């Protein structure tokens, strides 16, 4: 039987499976006020006698791995970038990730933000709360003229699990066309999913009424949407980024919002997780901001719990699940 410690929230059927595998203790980082993130020294102390660790926010360094006797490390992320995977492999620690755990959650927020921009929901709500029924002689029906999804082409920058989940919802909503730029995904797979592959990013930007970002942030994608791309934006287009803020270069993005090339934009992530109230985006009336809540659903927690529990179970049964990051350990 394993000794299992989870510093991530757990829920759903996966909890019972984990309990069947051993002694489970759950102490989520976000159940504490303020949140509880551990130093390397604190982790080493807590991991004495622990066989399997499940983490979401804590950083698991080579130092931690070297000083503990972990056998399994479950990471509640699609990309286990908070773990030193080479160090884990060297130490013989099996790393299990949770691909697609929040795809539906992020996709639903993306669609919500699209409609928020298209129908000016935040601005209209602000007006009612402030008693602004008539402004400069104009009623709301004169101030807020929206767009319908059925008339719009949506361009996805990135067509992984989240991008494809967004596309599925857009098709159900009757979007005029869903396109995607993703040099990693097979174009035939996109076509089979009802997505038009566009091999040149600038061409997608020039055609899209809504640009929706779903690419991972890597050295290759940081600043992927730069001055050249924003110069090709279709006048009056909308921009939604529920991925990582750094995929778009900040100054060209701000310029496109200021001069009206972009009618409006929405963001669910910012550099270093925080946006200063002094940042230009915070004072732009055509911008909607949410604090990195794309994956914040009960279902996301249930998904990562079951994926990790099933992964450990399968390995103990002699199988190698696709969620294993470093199968060479086996």
- Known catalytic residues are 244, 273, 292
* Whether the bond into 7 is cis, omega within 30 of 0: no
Decide: helix, strand or coil at residue 65. Answer: helix
164 exposure class (CB count in 10 Å sphere: 0-12, 13-18, 19+): buried
HSE-up (13 A, CA, CB side) for residue 323: 27
Single out the residue of 264, 156, 269 nearest to residue 213, CA to CA.
156
Pair type for strands 2-6 and 153-157: unpaired
How far apart CA 232 and CA 294 sit, in angstroms, is: 28
Residue with tokens 């993005």, as numbered in its chain: 253
What is the token pair recorded at 291?
């604090």
Q: Which residues fall within 8 angstroms of residue 188, CB to CB, at 6 or more apart?
A: none
How far apart CA 232 and CA 121 sit, in angstroms, is: 27
φ/ψ (deg, to 5) at 271: -60, 135
Residue with tokens 């995977």, as numbered in its chain: 85
φ/ψ (deg, to 5) at 73: -135, 105
How far apart CA 232 and CA 62 sit, in angstroms, is: 45
What is the token pair recorded at 20?
């069947």
How far apart CA 152 and CA 172 sit, in angstroms, is: 14
Helices (H), 69-160: 85-91, 103-118, 121-129, 140-143
Chain-centroid distance, C-alpha 148 = 25
């Amino acid at each position: 039987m394993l000794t299992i410690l989870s510093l991530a929230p757990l829920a759903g059927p996966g909890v019972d499976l984990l309990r069947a595998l051993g002694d489970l203790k759950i102490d989520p980082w976000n159940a504490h006020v303020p949140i509880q993130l551990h130093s390397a020294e604190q982790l080493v102390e807590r991991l004495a006698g622990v066989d399997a660790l499940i983490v979401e926010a804590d950083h698991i360094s080579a130092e931690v791995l070297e000083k503990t006797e972990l056998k399994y490390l479950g990471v509640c992320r699609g990309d286990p970038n908070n773990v030193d995977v080479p160090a884990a492999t060297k130490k013989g620690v099996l790393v299990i990730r949770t691909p697609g755990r929040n795809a539906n959650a992020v996709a639903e927020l993306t669609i919500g933000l699209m409609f928020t921009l298209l129908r000016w929901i935040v601005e209209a709500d602000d007006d009612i709360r402030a008693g602004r029924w008539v402004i400069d002689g104009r009623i709301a029906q004169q101030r807020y003229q929206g767009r319908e999804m059925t008339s719009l082409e949506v361009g996805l920058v990135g067509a992984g699990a989240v991008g494809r989940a967004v596309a599925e919802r857009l098709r159900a909503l009757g979007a005029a066309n869903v396109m995607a730029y993703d040099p990693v995904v097979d174009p035939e797979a996109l076509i089979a999913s009802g997505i038009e592959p566009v091999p040149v990013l600038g061409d997608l930007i020039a055609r899209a009424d809504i640009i929706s970002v779903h690419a991972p942030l890597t050295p290759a994608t940081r600043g992927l949407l730069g001055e050249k791309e924003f110069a090709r934006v279709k006048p009056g287009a909308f921009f939604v980024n529920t991925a990582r803020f750094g995929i778009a270069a900040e100054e060209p993005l701000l310029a496109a919002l200021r001069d009206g090339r972009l009618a409006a934009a929405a963001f669910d992530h910012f550099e270093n997780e925080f946006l200063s109230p002094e940042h230009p985006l915070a004072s732009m009336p055509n911008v909607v901001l949410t604090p990195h809540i794309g994956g914040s659903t009960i279902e996301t927690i249930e998904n990562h719990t079951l994926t990790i529990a099933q992964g450990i179970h399968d390995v103990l049964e002699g199988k190698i699940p696709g969620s294993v990051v470093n199968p060479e350990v086996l």
